[in-house]
């Protein structure tokens, strides 16, 4: 949450001896005006594409996976508990000897519990409360190692692993990471085996929908898998890599709401998100559908599943020449749309420009 990064910067400001010299690593980094003070020495690690793009636009160095040791590591841990403790272990592992790890988290995301976890591994921790958040920090002192047994347990909790009786690879933090989502399972039951051509999977997660297309739709030529979470791509590689096929698959680290390749696809499949953190936001799903419409060829088709209450019908009616609800079941609806009007609009605009010359 934004207030947690405010608390983090406030704690740094109160400790001017921290970060004045040497390189700094910011794990799960977020853009903040106070980062300007550290610009030339700062490396930002971020796997979530919208935040990575924001940092890159501000001119910061951004990495999906951090490397090396740093005298100061600052961290905004993920609110998911397995990832939060895994983040603490990562922070420790990137600390140079006598380095300091500083953490901040919003109270509603479990800051007090995360502070207790850090004490369990490191011992003494300094702390302050600000902006409805907690900032807490500790050093990695030479001769006083952290509890390695605790740290190794934390590393394991955040690692990619086999799930669902070993059938799939996944990782905590991904959508429906250790089970097949009910909506996605309903969607694949109604996808025609005759789907063909170039396909896109929007919000691909660990690859369930794309794996179905590879196994059940022999006329598919290629699949582009779009996801904003950089942690999804190694599970995708493993899950799709065991399927015997000549179909080209291409994982793309993209924010779908910012758009996808225009006019490229014959088929788009998606189970679009509708939450920003814990807050429901149906406009996210609508932006997914807008991206799908722009990405489809003139006769392309969209297959999607959504929670029954989400208001997508009007948008589909305005954006596609034809659409229908295939089934409603278990609180979900599978919908099919074809012939995006956006392509006709683009074609007319191009024709108008030509006629005006």
What is the C-alpha separation between 236 and 227, in angstroms, rounded?
A: 11
Say whether both 35 and 119 belong to one domain: yes
- Give the pLDDT of residue 346: 53
Is the per-residue pLDDT at 319 higher than 70?
yes
Q: Is residue 355 domain-resident? A: no
Say whether both 68 and 127 belong to one domain: yes
- Give the pLDDT of residue 2: 66
pTM for the full model?
Answer: 0.90
Say whether both 202 and 284 belong to one domain: yes
Is the per-residue pLDDT at 13 higher than 60?
yes
**Percent of the chain at pLDDT exceeding 70:** 93
Is the per-residue pLDDT at 89 higher than 50?
yes
What is the residue-averaged pLDDT of the chain? Answer: 92
- Give the pLDDT of residue 47: 96
Residue 279 binned pLDDT confidence (cut-offs 50, 70, 90): low
Say whether both 267 and 228 belong to one domain: yes
Mean pLDDT, residues 289-300: 95
Q: Is residue 200 domain-resident? A: yes
Assess contact for 213 and 223: CB atoms under 8 A: yes
Say whether both 193 and 328 belong to one domain: yes
Q: Is residue 223 domain-resident? A: yes
Residue 355 binned pLDDT confidence (cut-offs 50, 70, 90): very low
Q: How many CB atoms lie within 10 A of CB 28?
A: 20
- Give the end of a domain, one of 157, 174, 206: 157
Tokens of 192: 């025609």
- Give the pLDDT of residue 143: 76
- Angle formed by the axes of helices 148-157 and 81-93, to 10°? 130
Q: Is residue 165 domain-resident? A: yes
| Domain assignment of residue 69, given as a range | 2-157
Is the per-residue pLDDT at 16 higher than 90?
no
pLDDT digits (tens, 9 = 90+) for 24-53: 999 999 999 999 989 999 999 999 999 999
Say whether both 132 and 188 belong to one domain: no
Answer positive or negative: Cα dihedral of 244, 245, 248, 251: negative
Number of domains in the chain: 2
- Give the end of a domain, one of 101, 122, 157: 157
Is the per-residue pLDDT at 200 higher than 90?
yes
Where is average pLDDT lowest: 6-20, 21-35, 238-252, 333-347?
333-347
**Half-sphere exposure for 325 (CA within 13 Å, toward CB):** 14
Residue 233 binned pLDDT confidence (cut-offs 50, 70, 90): very high
pLDDT digits (tens, 9 = 90+) for 158-177: 999 999 999 999 999 999 99
Q: How many CB atoms lie within 10 A of CB 247?
A: 17
- Give the end of a domain, one of 117, 141, 157: 157
Closest CA to 339 of 297, 290, 292: 297
Say whether both 209 and 147 belong to one domain: no
- Give the pLDDT of residue 348: 46
Q: What's the CATH number where 318 sits?
A: 3.40.50.150
């Amino acid at each position: 949450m934004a207030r947690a990064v405010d608390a983090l910067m406030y704690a740094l400001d109160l400790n001017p001896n921290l970060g004045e010299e040497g390189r700094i690593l910011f794990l799960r980094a977020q853009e903040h005006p106070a980062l300007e003070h550290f610009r030339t020495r700062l490396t930002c690690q971020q796997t979530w594409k919208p935040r990575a793009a924001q940092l890159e636009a501000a001119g910061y160095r951004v990495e999906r996976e951090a490397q090396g040791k740093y005298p100061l590591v600052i961290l905004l841990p993920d609110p998911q508990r397995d990832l939060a403790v895994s983040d603490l272990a990562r922070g420790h592992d990137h600390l140079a000897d006598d380095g300091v790890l500083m953490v901040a988290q919003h109270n509603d995301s479990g800051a007090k519990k995360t502070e207790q976890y850090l004490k369990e591994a490191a011992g003494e921790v300094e702390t302050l409360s600000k902006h409805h958040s907690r900032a807490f920090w500790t050093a990695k002192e030479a001769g006083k190692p952290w509890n390695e047994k605790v740290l190794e347990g934390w590393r394991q909790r955040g690692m990619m692993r086999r799930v669902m009786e070993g059938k799939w690879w996944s990782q905590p933090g991904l959508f429906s990471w250790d089970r097949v989502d009910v909506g996605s399972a309903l969607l694949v039951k109604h996808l025609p085996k005759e789907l063909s051509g170039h396909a896109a999977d929007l919000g691909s997660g660990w690859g369930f929908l794309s794996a179905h297309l590879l196994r059940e739709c022999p006329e598919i030529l290629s699949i582009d898998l779009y996801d904003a979470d950089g942690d999804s791509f190694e599970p995708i590689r493993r899950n799709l890599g065991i399927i015997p096929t000549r179909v080209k698959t291409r994982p793309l680290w993209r924010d779908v709401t910012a758009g996808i390749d225009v006019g490229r696809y014959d088929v788009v499949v998606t189970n679009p998100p509708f939450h920003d953190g814990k807050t429901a936001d149906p406009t996210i799903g609508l932006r997914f559908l807008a991206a799908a419409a722009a990405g489809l060829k003139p006769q392309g088709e969209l297959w999607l599943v959504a929670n029954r209450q989400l208001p997508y019908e009007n948008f589909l009616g305005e954006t596609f020449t034809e659409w229908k609800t295939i089934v409603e079941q278990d609180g979900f609806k599978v919908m099919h749309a074809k012939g995006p009007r956006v392509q006709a609009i683009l074609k007319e605009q191009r024709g108008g420009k030509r006629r005006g010359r």
